[in-house]
A and B are shown apart, each in its own frame.
Chain A
Amino acid sequence: MTDLVRLFRKSSSALFGLGLVAVMAVLAVLAPWIAPRDPDVIDTARRLAPILTAGHPLGTDEFGRDLLSRLLFGARISLVVGLTATALAALVGSLCGLLAGFIGRWVDQLIMRSIDTLLAFPYFLLAVAIIAALGPGLVNGMVAVAVVNIPFYGRIVRATVLSVKQTDYVESARALGISELRLALTHVLRNCLAPLIVAVTLNVGGMITALAGLSFLGLGVQPPTSDWGSMLSASRQYLNVAPHVAALPGMAIFLTVLGFNLLGDGLRDALDPRLR
């Protein structure tokens, strides 16, 4: 904890990242109360209104829907889906890494070869291939992006488990007759916590981008749900007349991802001095 306080006192970029993430989170939570309008209400009389139009501070999209409201509700989708996908990947990946590292032998072989196979695919291609199988949609997009990131966590946890297993205190705990399961869940898992926290923070940004990317391609969140990726996709046809409709959702993705990346960099520097 003191480490964290020191981190934010010392690193202005980490503090800035934390600030960005916090602002986005607050906006997402408060969206239903602070959004000026219903994000899905169509007003064909006011299509593609520019920024600072009366009643529409950030203008409107091609259906006359209020952009500020859609951005605010889009923040909810991006954050909830991004965080859920990250949690899913971290959970399954850690479990795989824990099993592989702790049990070893054929379990290790099986898990690590499966991970190698997943890693043989270019990152985003695998997500697209999974969507090809499951069909486009919000939940499928989330599953696809989570699966793609399982190897990342599996490897981190396995490596930590292997190094912790060799330590004297695990040896002595084992000598004391503590069961293997308890050993894995207490000593070993506790040591994985710091690298996992860093990994998760650094990973959320990539998850949000990947999910927005899938939605941009029409493979993730489906219209009319207000989502940054699909907003950006629709805006391309009006780029010449209403560039702000494309600029704003991208800016929102960028700021959110930047926040998580700066925060993750800071946490990594604080929690894992070897990587500084």
Chain B
Amino acid sequence: MAAVGGGGLPAYALRRLFLAVPVLFGVSVLVFAVLHLAPGDPAAIMLGAQATKEDVVRLHRDLGLDQPLVIQYVRWMGHVAQGDLGRSIPLGRAVLPEVLLRFKATLVLTAGALLIAILLGLAAGIVSAVKQYTWLDRISMGVAVTGVSLPVFWTGIMLILLFALQLRWFPSSGMSSPYGSGVADVLWHLVLPAVTLGTASAAALARLTRSSVLEIIRQDYVRSARAKGLAERAVIARHVLKNAINPIITVLGLQVGFLLGGAILTETVFSWPGLGSMMVRAIQARDYPLVQGGVLLIAATFVLVNLVVDLLYAVFDPRIRYD
């Protein structure tokens, strides 16, 4: 456990939480701006060409667009704080329950992909670094650079072609069968999307893990450990991996961002009923409240993930001072 100074981990956690506030404020301003950067009157755009003038005026007033921007922002934030993300006009429903329902599917996909990324990426990265310049290193790094260069939406389509249309091993779209139910059915549907999204992330993770581990391997204390006759396996486990864990956690945190963003593409390819595919449709339908709600939810999740990463950092590294 870390050497705790100045109030310990809870106090540090609180302080970090406090530091996330300005970032969340910036995020909210940007999300708010989505509606207001749009060229033209958002009310008219949202209602479409057939809308009457009265309808537009009414929506204009309902959205508070006749108020000064600062007032509009404060009002909007007030609603958001109460869990009111507005109403989706095309769906005719409140945004929050809609995005939360979709978000569950996105989380399932992201978690599956992250698991694959960690299993493949960490293993390949560590092995590559430990066996630097061997054929094993060359092959895994060759595969990794191929992986980071593959566009996820194309990998997805090719996997569908091979494993869904040709071999018929996995379904090509959706999250569940019409009459199927249960966890097994979801997992069966999850395989292709999670592999698609996860391998891209695994490739990036492998490259970054390799360089972090290599950096540690070059340190003096690793040389000393070897010099005192410690077995290579023990050197790697006790001295190298223990110290490489923080940069790896940082990279993992960043990968969550990549996965949450990449989910938009993967969900579209596999018609996965998540937030990403919903937002793409919402953008095309000019459904601003739905887009705002989705973006806000995902960005807030990512801020939270980064917070957790920072906390883990402090837990794993005694050198980090909490003040």
Contact = CB atoms under 8 A, between A and B. Distances in A.
B291 A132 contact: yes
Nearest to A129: B295
Given A121-B302, A122-B298, A213 B34 contact: no
Interface of B: 22-24, 26-27, 29-31, 33-39, 145-146, 148-154, 157-158, 160-161, 165, 211, 256-262, 264-265, 268-269, 279-280, 282-284, 288, 291, 295, 298-299, 302-303, 306
Contacts of A235: 157
Contact of A254 (B27, B154, B165): B154
Contacts of B153: 212-213, 216, 229, 232, 250
A180 B295 CA distance: 41
A136 B279 CA distance: 13
**In the complex, which of the residues B27, B30, B34, B149 has the most CB atoms of chain A within 10 Å of its own CB atom?**
B149
A120 B302 contact: yes
Contacts of A132: 34, 279, 282-283, 288, 291, 295
Interface residues of A, number: 47
A125 interface: yes
A261 B145 contact: yes
A213 B156 CA distance: 12
B302 A250 contact: no
Nearest to B25: A117
A104 interface: no
Interface stretch (A35-43, A87-95, A184-192, A240-248): A240-248
Nearest to A250: B154
Contacts of A121: 27, 30, 257, 295, 298-299, 302
Contact of A128 (B29, B148, B280): B280
B149 A205 contact: yes
B214 to A, nearest CB: 8
A124 interface: yes
Contact of A113 (B22, B160, B268): B22
